[in-house]
Structure 1
């Protein structure tokens, strides 16, 4: 009976991953039960082995499996509180598991099975990408807070006071399109010396700074643009996106609502607002904004998170 329960626990983990790969409801439940089962099983084993001389040698690996159950749970279910502990736990587990597999002559079947499984589950933590892949060992948000975005940007017909400013703006824009963001910033800043309140420069420079991870500076630039002219909904939408990336959800909501007030027919604004409500667990409002976004023409297939949320939570 114990062996059967152990097998079911172990199988729950790959089943959960497969369910998530194919967007089948319940994948996270299987993962959570699997990791919890392994955690409890080896916690009991470590307590028993502590008083056994025969198993003192491999008790370190069992302790690491307990800790890895915690780390993998947080990584595969996208909980942030496991990021910093994983910096220490994952390397120690990798080292202890390799030593065990290469040097231990009397290997335990269950321990070997879990060790190999956890080694395989550790591979995606180091950059291997697939659908619903786990949080990486070094999460992207640590070095790229802006990330891939679905913000809404249009071409503005902003005027320039001097032809030199317009030429610099065009040069900087080309650099930004080539992802040479630091070079683009230098040119934009040079242009700002000529026209410090030019809306085009403030807007495009904000985007360039965001791409270099300087989100706070990007917000300040949009602040200045809004002071100059508060009639552009795109300014509020982009600033809302930056606040969202900075974990300032309340400010993001205020900006998205202002963008909607200025342009209620833009579906992306409603979709962005729905995303913030989703992460705040305000599901009723999220569903309402999704419905409005779709009625305005938003394609829900463009947002996997909102699509899955609607299927699971919205009637």
Structure 2
């Protein structure tokens, strides 16, 4: 991932307004758990193209990871308004609901995302993690 950051930097030196390089570098920073660093890049990608749904989605995930949950949810919903077929956005909206302990909503979104894209990165892990949380919650309730 560190090497990919170098390539994004090279692309941005050639064209500082390359929305794909901005978005992908921002997403790579999210994967590296550098959420604060990702947001300015995603902001710039959005300023370059207000209809670039991926950057809204990625910025939403970064905000959720920073506990700016409602701002993050809004970004993901804005992303889905622009592209309702983005399985990753449904996954990230599920992460929002999981963080809010709204487990059934999260599961519904994870399953929708998986149905849309069975190879979606991390979806099986999230579903399994959520199943465990739901089982623990059910056990505590009984």
TM-score by length of 1: 0.36
Residue in 1 that maps onto 2:24 = 204
By relative contact order (CA 8 Å, sep 6+), the higher-ranking structure is: 2
Residue in 2 that maps onto 1:246 = 66
- For residues 137-286 of structure 1, the aligned pairs below 5 Å read 179=1, 181=2, 184-211=4-31, 213-283=33-103, 285-286=105-106
SS of residue paired to 2:51: coil
Q: Do the aligned residues in 1 keep the contact of 2:73 with 2:93 (CA within 8 Å)?
A: yes
Give the structure with the higher percent helix: 2
Once residues 291 and 187 of structure 1 are traced to their aligned partners in structure 2, the CA distance between those partners, rounded to angstroms, is 34
TM-score by length of 2: 0.70
**Runs of at least 5 residues in structure 2 that lack an aligned partner in the other structure:** none
Q: Count residues in correspondence.
A: 133
Q: Do the aligned residues in 2 keep the contact of 1:240 with 1:255 (CA within 8 Å)?
A: yes
Once residues 28 and 116 of structure 2 are traced to their aligned partners in structure 1, the CA distance between those partners, rounded to angstroms, is 29
**Larger Rg computed on CA atoms:** 1
Once residues 195 and 308 of structure 1 are traced to their aligned partners in structure 2, the CA distance between those partners, rounded to angstroms, is 46
For 1:307, which of 125, 131, 134 is the aligned residue?
131
Q: Do the aligned residues in 2 keep the contact of 1:290 with 1:306 (CA within 8 Å)?
A: no
1:291/1:220 CA distance change after superposition, 3 Å: same
Q: CA deviation at 1:295?
A: 5.4
Q: Do the aligned residues in 1 keep the contact of 2:60 with 2:72 (CA within 8 Å)?
A: yes
SS of residue paired to 1:196: coil
1:271/1:298 CA distance change after superposition, 3 Å: farther
1:265/1:220 CA distance change after superposition, 3 Å: same
1:264/1:211 CA distance change after superposition, 3 Å: closer
Q: Do the aligned residues in 2 keep the contact of 1:275 with 1:306 (CA within 8 Å)?
A: no
Q: Describe the superposition over 1:4-63 as per-residue Cα deviations: whole angstroms up to 9, x where unpaired.
A: xxxxxxxxxxxxxxxxxxxxxxxxxxxxxxxxxxxxxxxxxxxxxxxxxxxxxxxxxxxx
